[in-house]
Structure 1
Amino acid sequence: MRVVLLGPPGAGKGTQAQIIAGKLNVPAISTGDIFRANVSGKTELGLKVKEYLDAGDLVPDEITVAMVKDRLAEPDAKAGFLLDGFPRSIPQSEQLRESLAELGHSLDRVLELVVDEDELVRRLSGRRMLVDGEMIQRDDDKPETVRHRLQVYREQTEPLSGFYEAAGLLSRIDAIGEVEEVTARALKALGVDDAGQPSAD
């Protein structure tokens, strides 16, 4: 099964990606992991990525897409994958579709984790980290910063929701509740049971 996982910061994407991919027995693939692997492995693309990151610039779409395409062509992703954090825009989603077509594949489902903004702000601004024996809040987890991050998400990534809905691929998942409850809703939307097998209903 080939799945894309969408959702704003704080929706629990990272957690759900690992659990759902484990149930489906496919790799959970995040662009962050791909970037790190290419940079640490000093691949040709990784060296280019490092230049952009060192300069504080965003990595251009064509480099991100090329790295994702290379990753999807690896043996462990042949039977399926779960993409977390990619695509982030409609141009990236169109390039993903073309890359998959070249590999003879297409997406099966897009899951969007849905959480209202107040809950996201509460979750993210509630995070603390231990520094010199004191629990402090990271600057990027302050409520005003969180709301800005959500605004950026809405402008850049939320249009994907409509794009995939129009393609008949989107399932919206209520991401409020215990981790297991959210996972169960996601698996139901994928038509599989807790063991990753096709469900009877």
Structure 2
Amino acid sequence: MSLSRSTVRLLSQRTLSRGFATELPRPPPPTHQPVIETFSDTSKPRPYYAKHPPFKDLPREKSKWPLAAATLFAGVSGWALFMTFATNQEKLSSSVFRSIVRALRADPQLQEVLGEAIRPQPEWYLNGDPHVKGHISQLQGNIDVSFRVRGSKGSGTLYFTSIRKEKGAPFTVLRFKVICDDGTIVNISDAAPPI
């Protein structure tokens, strides 16, 4: 299909006269020349932030070692306290401890020195239970304990040691005495052996 010359001319005039929204008007030409500033010497450098106060150093990061050491110390201390409490409760619940206390209460010589109502002395840090030092190993044939006792007249420390020479043999009591706070030593009679 061919277009006539008049049609082509009409289309070209429309295209030239049409304005688009994206076209901006051209600025007018300058009326005078811009001022050019010249310098006779090199520029002097100045601080980048001359108007602002100088920067402060960033705070140093706190070391985490003290916190780790404190946590480790607290964990080890808690474990040690728990083990002390658990082993003490095990000694208190043993038949050997109950037999020793029964023999103490039945001894007439100890009743004369410490008075009536002889009992193990409670400790505040064990919630009112006595603290039994030493160990009770009946299977290994070795018992060696000491703890504080109290009566109506005074108090003292009990020492009990007993061993078994071989398996199946009876225990031999080596030491069963109370050293009172005033220095009196009371040997518990063999009439009521605890084992």
Instruction: Report the TM-score, using the length of structure 2 for normalisation.
Output: 0.22
Q: Which has the larger radius of gyration?
A: 2
Which gives a bigger RCO, structure 1 or 2 (Cα 8 Å, sep 6+)? 1
Higher strand share: 2
Higher helix share: 1
